[in-house]
């Protein structure tokens, strides 16, 4: 399991975003940050560019002889 975000890193991120938290909210978010980190590690997988549908879809483009 990933480690929770270091408090200094968490506080800096909240300050950059302009988010003000109560002490209870801050403690709760730092506690669950390990789960957020673990989730992002699972989805950050190197994939070929062609795996992204948006890179192969061209609006208005059609292959000749294949429908409209």
In a domain, 2, yes or no: no
Name the band, by pLDDT with cuts 50, 70 and 90, for residue 59. Answer: low
Structural domain includes residue 18: yes
Say if 20 falls within a structural domain.
Answer: yes
pLDDT at 22: 97
Residue 35 lies in a domain: yes
Q: Please tell me the distance from the alpha carbon of residue 59 to that of residue 57, in angstroms, as a whole number.
A: 6
In a domain, 22, yes or no: yes
Q: How many domains does the chain have?
A: 1
Residue 54 is assigned to a structural domain of this protein: no
pLDDT at 15: 96
Q: Are 33 and 4 in contact (CB under 8 A)?
A: yes
66 lies in some domain: no
Query: 3-28 pLDDT, tens per residue?
Result: 888 999 999 999 999 999 999 999 99
* pLDDT at residue 37 in the model: 83
């Amino acid at each position: 399991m990933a480690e929770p975000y270091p408090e200094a890193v968490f506080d800096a991120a909240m300050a950059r975003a302009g988010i003000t938290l109560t002490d209870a909210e801050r403690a709760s978010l730092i506690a669950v940050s390990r789960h957020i980190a673990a989730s992002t590690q699972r989805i950050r997988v190197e994939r070929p560019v062609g795996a992204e549908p948006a890179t192969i879809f061209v609006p208005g483009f059609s292959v000749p002889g294949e429908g409209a």
